[in-house]
Amino acid sequence: MRHIISLLMENEAGALSRVAGLFSSRGYNIESLTVAATEDSTLSRMTLVTAGSDDVIEQITKQLNKLIDVVKVVDLSEGDHIERELMLIKVRALGKDREEIKRLADIFRGRIIDVTDKSYTIELTGTGSKLDAFLDTIERSAILETVRTGASGIGRGERILKV
């Protein structure tokens, strides 16, 4: 099953490699991983999307907790949570397609953030499946480039991950 795990870790050189190394050495899979410093610059917040049986996920959270640099770990999928991913997509936009692509971007609440006479660059946020859906609506050959951040997640309501 897919799980989205959030963690706070010391913002130190090499901390990311400890997490990445743990996943590769123990054979866990990573679908995506995002990391950046928090409002407290000594801490980094990481969101990890992984998949595995309950036993594997239990081991993953235990092993993450065991890393000395990791301060807190929470499996967001255990409760209500929100997840968002950012995608930048450059598409070929010529002739009558220009209007159509603009309309599609609007429908998905995307924003065109760069324009040339041949292309649009669209910024789109949402869940991974929404981004997938948007990609599906655009003809494959029109897609020039995509870049996705991987999911970031946060608990709903009073669920807070903080030191």
Partner 1 sequence: MSTELTGAEITVRCLQKEGVDHIFGYPGGAVLFIYDELFKQDKVKHVLVRHEQAAVHAADGYARSSNKIGVALVTSGPGVTNAVTGIATAYMDSIPLVIISGQVPTHAIGLDAFQEVDTVGITRPCVKHNFLVKDINELATTIKKAFFIASTGRPGPVLVDIPKDVSQQKAVFVYPESVAMRSYNPVTRGHAGQIRKAVQLILEAKRPMIYAGGGIILSDAAAQLTELVRMLGFPCTNTLMGLGGFPATDRQCVGMLGMHGTYEANMAMQHCDVLVAIGARFDDRVIGNPKHFFNEDRKIIHIDIDPSSISKRVKVDVPIVGSVSDVLVELIKMLKVRKEKPDQTALDAWWTQIDLWRARDCLKYDRSSSIIKPQLVIEKLYDVTKGDAFVTSDVGQHQMWAAQFYKFDLPRRWINSGGLGTMGFGLPAAMGVQFANPGNMVACVTGEASIQMCIQELSTCKQYNLPLKVINLNNRYMGMVRQWQEFFHGNRYAESYMDALPDFVKLAESYGHVGMKIEQPGDVESALTEAFKLKNRLVFMDFITDQTENVFPMVPGGKGLSEMILV
Give me the residues that bind partner 1 (CB under 8 A), please.
9-10, 13-14, 17-18, 21, 25, 55, 58-59, 62-63, 65-66, 68-71, 163
43-51/32-37 β-pairing: antiparallel
One-letter amino acid identity for 90?
Answer: K
Q: For the beta carbon of residue 85, count every other beta carbon within 10 angstroms.
A: 23
| Minimum distance, C-beta of residue 100 to partner 1, in the bound complex (Å) | 49
One-letter amino acid identity for 51?
Answer: A
Query: Judged by CB, which is closer to partner 1: 39, or 55?
Result: 55
| Minimum distance, C-beta of residue 72 to partner 1, in the bound complex (Å) | 8
Query: Judged by CB, which is closer to partner 1: 62, or 111?
Result: 62
Q: Compute the chain's Rg from CA coordinates.
A: 19
Residue-level length of the chain: 163
Query: Judged by CB, which is closer to partner 1: 10, or 97?
Result: 10
Q: E strands along 52-116, which residues?
A: 70-75, 81-92, 111-115
| Minimum distance, C-beta of residue 28 to partner 1, in the bound complex (Å) | 12
Query: Judged by CB, which is closer to partner 1: 17, or 129?
Result: 17
SS3 at position 118: coil
